[in-house]
């Protein structure tokens, strides 16, 4: 087990009150596994990622309770200095927009080298070899030439790979990818995802893939957690999520993915809006939008039910 998150609560304390962005989620990621976190905007996907990195915007964003156990160490309890040594070395993250994630005034070699120098005690003449090595891992052609180039000389897909190279420079155990493919077009997206699989094979890195795109999920994830309003409402292997979704929200989500082989007049959509995170309903969070809600759904939050070794669902209808 590389990462185990137990009952994580992350809140933002604003002038209007406490916003429970992540409200008690638990999941784990094994070595060489890709865990997808899917959900609509504002459901707490990115906050989950930032909580693991301990990079919440301070002082408003705070981990209220819970455990984040990475390689046997609880990250929540680490000192700031300790955590900094972990970042980039044991746990890395790729941010949403690769186009602006590179510093325009440094060469590629400088930027990848910076990450190498910060965490590895290598003699200066070894750094460049290491940088070329990691650029190769990301399948960047002619790394010796790229080293001396500046970000503006690279294409978008190439920049994306350089960002990936920085994240992978110290061969971390866990990589969090926060919608890394959103800014790319479809062909580059496919290439990039294939690249992830390749890297995983070579380095055994565990990946958390944050996305709202079910197509990407199907392509790369081994298991998926579906998030809704700060909670993971269903966890299952990718196959099962598509074949046999249990939670009404998951069912509805998968129905709303456009499918080319079906000729429907209108695309299915879920009515209503997600609840305000400051004023959550008493019972199930999805209840106001749920077509199959029971009376109990309005009154009580459903517990997480483990229905098989790899699956769990939080819904009163699932027993």
The residue ranges that bind another protein (CB under 8 A) are 53, 55, 59, 84-89, 92-93, 95-97, 100-106, 114-115, 118-119, 163, 166-167
**Cα(73)–Cα(67) distance, integer angstroms:** 10
**Cα(315)–Cα(131) distance, integer angstroms:** 48
What six digits make up the tokens of 86?
């972990």
Nearer to another protein, 170 or 193 (CB): 170
Report whether 127 contacts 117 (CB < 8 A). yes
What six digits make up the tokens of 286?
């999805």
**DSSP code of 246?**
-
CB of 58 to another protein, least distance (A): 9
Which among 255, 239, 254 is positioned nearest to 311, based on CA atoms? Answer: 239
CB of 84 to another protein, least distance (A): 5
Nearer to another protein, 59 or 258 (CB): 59
Nearer to another protein, 101 or 250 (CB): 101
Nearer to another protein, 84 or 289 (CB): 84
CB of 295 to another protein, least distance (A): 46
Nearer to another protein, 9 or 84 (CB): 84
Nearer to another protein, 85 or 145 (CB): 85
CB of 276 to another protein, least distance (A): 26
What's the gap between Cα 121 and its chain centre? 29
What's the gap between Cα 164 and its chain centre? 14
Report whether 163 contacts 134 (CB < 8 A). no
Which among 111, 114, 113, 120 is positioned nearest to 89, based on CA atoms? Answer: 120
What six digits make up the tokens of 24?
């008690």
CB of 132 to another protein, least distance (A): 18
CB of 293 to another protein, least distance (A): 40
């Amino acid at each position: 087990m590389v990462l185990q998150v137990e009952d994580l609560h992350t809140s933002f304390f604003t002038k209007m009150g406490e916003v429970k962005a992540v409200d008690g989620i638990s999941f784990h990621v094994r070595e060489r596994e890709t865990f997808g976190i899917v959900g609509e905007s504002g459901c707490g996907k990115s906050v989950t990622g930032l909580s693991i990195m301990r990079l919440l915007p301070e002082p408003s964003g705070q981990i209220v309770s819970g455990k984040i156990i990475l390689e046997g160490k609880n990250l929540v309890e680490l000192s700031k200095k300790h955590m900094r040594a972990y970042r980039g070395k044991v746990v890395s993250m790729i941010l949403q927009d690769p186009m602006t994630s590179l510093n325009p005034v440094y060469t590629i070699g400088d930027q990848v080298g910076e990450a190498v120098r910060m965490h590895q005690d290598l003699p200066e003449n070894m750094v460049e070899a290491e940088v070329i090595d990691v650029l190769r891992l990301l399948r960047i052609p002619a790394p010796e030439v790229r080293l001396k180039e500046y970000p503006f000389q690279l294409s978008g897909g190439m920049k994306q790979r350089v960002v990936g190279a920085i994240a992978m420079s110290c061969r971390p155990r866990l990589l969090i990818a926060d919608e890394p493919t959103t800014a790319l077009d479809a062909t580059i997206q496919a290439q990039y995802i294939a690249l992830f699989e390749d890297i995983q094979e070579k380095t055994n890195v565990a990946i958390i893939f944050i996305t709202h795109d079910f197509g990407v999920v199907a392509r790369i994830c081994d298991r998926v957690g579906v998030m809704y309003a700060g909670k993971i409402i269903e966890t299952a292997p990718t196959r099962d999520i598509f074949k046999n979704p249990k939670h009404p929200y998951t069912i509805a989500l998968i129905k709303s993915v456009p499918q080319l082989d079906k000729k429907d007049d209108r695309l299915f959509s879920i009515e209503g809006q997600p609840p305000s995170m400051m004023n959550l309903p008493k019972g199930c969070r999805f209840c106001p939008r749920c077509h199959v809600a029971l009376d109990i759904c309005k009154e009580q939050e459903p517990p997480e039910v483990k229905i098989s070794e790899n699956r769990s669902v939080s819904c009163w209808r699932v027993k």
